Structure 1
Amino acid sequence: MLGDNVQPNDALHNEEVDANFFQHVPFMEEYNLNNDGELTPIESIYFANYGVYAEEYEQMEDIPEGATIAIANDISNIDRSLQLLEQHGVIELEDTDERYYTQTHIAENPNDYNFEEVDLLMLARMYDDADAVVMTPAYAEPLGLTPAADGLITEGTENEFAITLVAREDNADSEPIQKLKEAMMSDEVRQFLEDNYSETAIPAF
C-alpha cells in the first residue's frame, strides 16, 4: 500500500511497478527533476475537474477581502491553482519564462487574498479551517462536494493537467504498456467515465 503522492513514483522509478496512474504531467516532470527520474507520459486519460470550494460562500465573489485560500504546496499544483484563479479573474499573473507560476508571479490580487500552501493530502482538512480550498474531485468527493454543485469556479479541460498513464523511458514502448494504454483508451472506459464520473473525470482521449 502506498501512502502518499510521491511513493507511486518512487515505486515506478525503482522498477517495483511497471506503470502508475494518478498524476498529471507537470507533477511527473517535477518528480523527474528532483529525483533524476526517467518517468514518461504514455497517455492522458481524464481531466480531474479542479475547483475552488468554500463552506460558507456560494460564489467566488462572496469570499471577503483578505480571506485565506488553501492551495497545494507542491510546485506543479501551486502553478495549477494560480492558473485556475487567473482563468476566472481572481488574480493576474505576470509573464514569466519559468516553467511554473509561484506566488511571486502574482501581479494583481485585488481582494488581497492570502494563499496558504499546504500538503496535497491536507487540502480536504482545510475545508473547515480556510475560507476556501482549491482541490481536485478526489479530495472534494469525500466531503460530499462535486464540481457542478459546489465548485465556486472550476477548471474545465483546456489545460495540461489531465490524469495520465505513466511508465518509464525503458519500458514505455513495451508490449504490456502499449496493451495497457489501448485498454485504458477503449470505448468501454470512455463510457464508464461518462456514465459514472461525468463531473469529476472527463475523458481526455
Structure 2
Amino acid sequence: MNFKKTLVAVAAAATFFSSAALAEKLSVAATPVPHAEILEFVKPTLAEQGVELDVKVFTDYIQPNIQVSQKRMDANFFQHQPYLDEFNEGRGTNLVTVAGVHIEPFGAYSNRISSLDELEEGAVVAIPNDPTNGGRALLLLQKAGLITLEDESKITATPRDIAENPKDLEFKELEAATLPRILGQVDLALINTNYALEAGLNPTEDALLIEGSDSPYVNILVARPDNKDSEAMQKLADALQSEEVKNFILENYEGAVVPAF
C-alpha cells in the first residue's frame, strides 16, 4: 500500500468527518405542500453553508407550534401571522416571526356546482374551525357578496358574526385538514391552499372563488425569541427569501403559491 496515499486518504476522511461534526443542525416542522417541498429545495444550499436542515412533516396546525414552543424543534413553516397571533394568545406561547416567504391564496371549492351562482338556498358550506382561517373564509364569502358580517373587517369572525345571510347558508366548522376529504359531502368548502394542493386540487383552475395576490396572509418562518437571531436561523431565512426560491415557487405552483418577497 502506498503510505503517502494512505495519509492523504486519512486526512481527507478526517476533514470530512470534522466538517460534518461542525455542521449546525436546524430542525423545522412543516406541512407537506408547499412548505416541506420548499425547505427540501433549500437544504443543499444550507448544507454548503454548514447548516444541516432536518425537515419534519406534520399534517395539522397545532403540533408544529407546540413542538417549537417546547424546544423539541427549532422552527416551523406552515402558518400566517394572524394564525400565529391567535395561537400565542390562546396557548400562552411566545413564538415569533423570522421571515415572510409566500402567500397561498385561499379558495372555495365544490364537487356539486361549477359556479357560485348555482349555490342554492340552504346550501351547506364548510369552513375551517380555527378562528383565523374560519374568519378568513367568511371574509372571502363576504367579498363575493354571499354574506355580510357585523364587523366587515373582523379577521376572527365566526358564523355567529354574520349579520346578513340571504341564501340562508348552513355553515359547518371543521378541522382545516379534513376539508378536502369531505368536499363531496357539502355544497362548498373553503380550503387552505396547502391542503388543496395535497388533495390534488389546482387552486387557479378548480377554485370557484379565490383570494387575490394582495392577500395579507403571508406564510412565515417561525421560531422562539431565544433562537430567532441565531446564525443558522438567519441563513435559513435568507435562503427562503432568495431569488432561487422565488423562481422555484413560480415554476412549480403556477399561481397557487405566490412569493411574498
Query: Which category of TM-score, normalised to the shorter sequence, fits these structures?
Result: over 0.9
Q: Tell me, what secondary structure is at the counterpart of 2:135? A: helix
Structure 2 runs not aligned, ≥5 long: 1-55
Deviation at 1:17, TM superposition (A): 1.3
2:166 to 107, 110, 135: 110
- Aligned partner of 2:109 in structure 1 is 53
Would you say how many aligned residue pairs link Structure 1 and Structure 2? 205
Going from structure 1 to structure 2, the CA distance change for 1:3 and 1:61 (only over 3 Å counts) comes to closer
Structure with higher RCO (Cα < 8 A, 6+ apart): 1
RMSD of the TM alignment (CA)?
1.7
Going from structure 1 to structure 2, the CA distance change for 1:99 and 1:71 (only over 3 Å counts) comes to closer
- Aligned partner of 1:23 in structure 2 is 79
Runs of 4+ with deviation above 4 angstroms: 96-99
2:221 to 146, 165, 170: 165
Aligned-pair identity (%): 38
The structure with the greater share of residues assigned to helix is: 2
Q: Retained in 1: the 8 A contact 2:74–2:227? A: yes
**Greater Cα radius of gyration, structure 1 or 2:** 2
| Whole-Å separation in 2 of the counterparts to 1:16 and 1:83 | 35
Q: Tell me, what secondary structure is at the counterpart of 1:123? A: helix
1:174 to 208, 211, 230: 230
- TM-score for both structures, normalised by structure 2: 0.74
- Aligned partner of 2:257 in structure 1 is 201
- Aligned partner of 2:144 in structure 1 is 88
Going from structure 1 to structure 2, the CA distance change for 1:97 and 1:80 (only over 3 Å counts) comes to closer
Question: Which range moves more in the overlay, 169-178 or 8-17?
Answer: 169-178
1:33 aligns with 2:83: no
2:241 to 182, 185, 190: 185
Deviation at 1:171, TM superposition (A): 1.7
Q: Retained in 2: the 8 A contact 1:146–1:199? A: no
Deviations 1:1-32 (A, max 9, x none): 64532111111001111111011111111221
| Whole-Å separation in 2 of the counterparts to 1:123 and 1:45 | 24
- TM-score for both structures, normalised by structure 1: 0.93
Deviations 1:62-88 (A, max 9, x none): 111110010010111111111111122
| Whole-Å separation in 2 of the counterparts to 1:97 and 1:154 | 17
| Whole-Å separation in 2 of the counterparts to 1:3 and 1:133 | 18
Structure 1 runs not aligned, ≥5 long: none
| Whole-Å separation in 2 of the counterparts to 1:168 and 1:193 | 26
- Aligned partner of 2:157 in structure 1 is 101
Deviation at 1:175, TM superposition (A): 1.7
Deviation at 1:96, TM superposition (A): 7.2
Q: Tell me, what secondary structure is at the counterpart of 1:128? A: helix
